[in-house]
Structure 1
Amino acid sequence: MTTNQSIIWFTAHKCASVYASEILQKLAEDVGMIYLNYEGDLWEKGQSLGKLISGNDSETSNNMFKTTGHIYGPFRHYYPIPEMEKYKVILMLRDPRDVLTSLYFSLVYSHGIPESQKTQIKSQRENTRKKTIDDFVIEKSHPCKTIYNSYTKCLFCKNNVLFLSYEDMVTDFPAWLIELCKNLAIKPSEQLINELIDGAKFEVEENIYSHKRQVKPGDHRRKLQVNTIKQLNLEMQDVLKIYGWLKDERQEADELFQLYLERGIEKLDKFKLLFEQAKHKINSN
């Protein structure tokens, strides 16, 4: 096993964590590191990693992590892992407005249901189906913001932390992959790098029943009401600015106004079509 400095990978739900974990697992195998997904393994069993790490058995939590030769993750919440400064850390996040939009479709249509979580997830699905997507994202905006704030406080801009965005991954995967490997000081084979780049396909037709429903950034603008987006912008403005998802408030306001006009025109065109169809039907009779 290699003596490379171990890597801990933090993210959030709906940030392509399943796909990215497959990449990291292949990288680990190629460079002789061990990949461990504690959170996912425990979730399948209906157990909580948070309780284990923050529990009274400090020896257990300390023995879970080794400072060399391992890649740990994904962790979809911040966990106070002992001696974090001794690890290389990845923080990969996505525009939280798109996260919330994607989470709605996942809970309603596509989220996997392991036997240990069957009752809980089915209940979540039924409750979510009763809500509009706009009501759902507003309701979930605060807990989502809390997760991002914890990352900002505990990880962002730390010397041993590499921040990567979901948006960079899906729009320029080769550059994203090169930056990942460079900052983690790992040297995978050229063959694996080429295989990963050739296999990165981010152009998909939207399918609400697929785990990979759609990947194009900015989906919140295609699915949410303009007033909902404005409310999310206000609620999460600090997070959006810190991570670069809201760079120019005036431009954002102008784009939302344009979106409001475009949707108004679409509704008017539909009304005109229905009116013409009704008039034609009356005249035919």
Structure 2
Amino acid sequence: MTLSFKLKSGEKPPVDLPETESEAQSVLAFSMAKAGSTLLFDLLHDLAPAAGLAYFSPENAVWGRKDRKAGKVYDMSPVFRDKGYCYGGFRFYPAYDVPVIETAPSILLVRDPKDMLVSNYFSNAFSHRPPTDDEESPAYQQFMKRRERIRNTDINDYVRQIVGNTQRMFASYRALLHKPTLKIFRYEDVIEQKRPWVDEILEHFGWAVPGETVDEIIARYDLFPDAEKPDAHVRQVKPGNYREHLNKQTVTAINAALAEDLAILGYTR
């Protein structure tokens, strides 16, 4: 069963919202790309139904659409409901209105941007999947050309070229940081303490999920590679890995570019 909605523009909606009978207050989950976002959203995708809510990602719902790839931006604000939903999948605060932002319990997962930038390099150079398996398609060929270009670029040069993207990602969340409904988690504090982390999320959201169910869900995603695996999605999980890849000049440049955000989020320089 699905619940239809209308876009403000009057266009046919690109997706339908899953139905829910829950009267629990809706919640929001935000992260940053390469900050453990996939882990967070996978956990919530499984935890939300266990708490009686429906999980839905507005961003994922339109990500693969051809018109989205062509630059079309959807106003997804009509999908938000006051009750019954866990909205996740955000790796950048959306440009459209989030009507429940003032009332919905929210979480934000952040990470030292130096580790995020290193992870971005390895993802784009090695592990990220092409948009299609059709090797003759323009999309596949463009993807592989970009991959080859990144592989032939020194990691220090690459991360310094894209640090502006990370600045914009952090900046998108600044208005959210001081909202009383928001709880911030740092990757470095939670990656090796997943059960206490999940317990804090459940408490903040007001969810009641049996302990054995929580443990079972965590076990699905509790991955700790023995060694760094450049071509794997979970390449490595240890905080501070940037020290193995970035030189002092690059670290200094990143710290300077993101000084305000590092200070706000409690990262030492």
Match of 1:162 in 2: 183
Alignment partner of 1:171: what SS?
Answer: coil
2:80 is the alignment partner of 1:95:
no
Contact 1:6–1:70 under 8 Å retained in 2: yes
Q: CA deviation at 1:201?
A: 3.0
After TM superposition, the structure 1 = structure 2 runs for residues 16-165 of structure 1, keeping only pairs within 5 Å, are: 16-46=36-66, 47=68, 51-53=73-75, 61-79=76-94, 80-115=97-132, 118=140, 121-152=143-174, 154-165=175-186
Match of 1:240 in 2: 262
What letter matches 1:201 in structure 2?
A: D
2:201 is the alignment partner of 1:184:
no
Q: Structure 1 residues 4 and 50 mapped into 2: Cα distance closer, same or farther (>3 Å)?
A: farther
Higher helix share: 1
Percent identical residues: 29
TM-score normalised by the chain length of structure 2: 0.82
1:214 to 236, 239, 251: 236
Give me the whole-angstrom Cα distance separating, in 1, the residues matched to 2:52 and 2:233: 30
Q: CA deviation at 1:195?
A: 1.5
Q: Structure 1 residues 38 and 50 mapped into 2: Cα distance closer, same or farther (>3 Å)?
A: farther
CA RMSD of aligned residues (A): 2.1
2:247 is the alignment partner of 1:230:
no
Which structure 2 residue ranges, 5 or more long, are not aligned? 1-20
Alignment partner of 2:102: what SS?
Answer: helix
Match of 2:14 in 1: none
Larger C-alpha radius of gyration, 1 or 2? 1
Contact 1:88–1:160 under 8 Å retained in 2: yes
Give me the whole-angstrom Cα distance separating, in 2, the residues matched to 1:50 and 1:244: 36
Paired residues, what number? 239
What letter matches 1:27 in structure 2?
A: L
Alignment partner of 2:199: what SS?
Answer: helix
Q: CA deviation at 1:41?
A: 3.0
Superimposed CA distance per residue, residues 92-148 of structure 1 (whole angstroms, 9 cap, x where no aligned partner)? 111111000000000000012233964553343233223110011111112201210
Q: Structure 1 residues 6 and 119 mapped into 2: Cα distance closer, same or farther (>3 Å)?
A: farther
TM-score normalised by the chain length of structure 1: 0.78
2:28 is the alignment partner of 1:8:
yes
Which structure 1 residue ranges, 5 or more long, are not aligned? 54-60, 250-285
Superimposed CA distance per residue, residues 162-210 of structure 1 (whole angstroms, 9 cap, x where no aligned partner)? 1111112212212211111111111112221222344453421211110
Q: CA deviation at 1:75?
A: 0.7
Which range moves more in the overlay, 80-89 or 10-19?
80-89
What letter matches 1:172 in structure 2?
A: Q
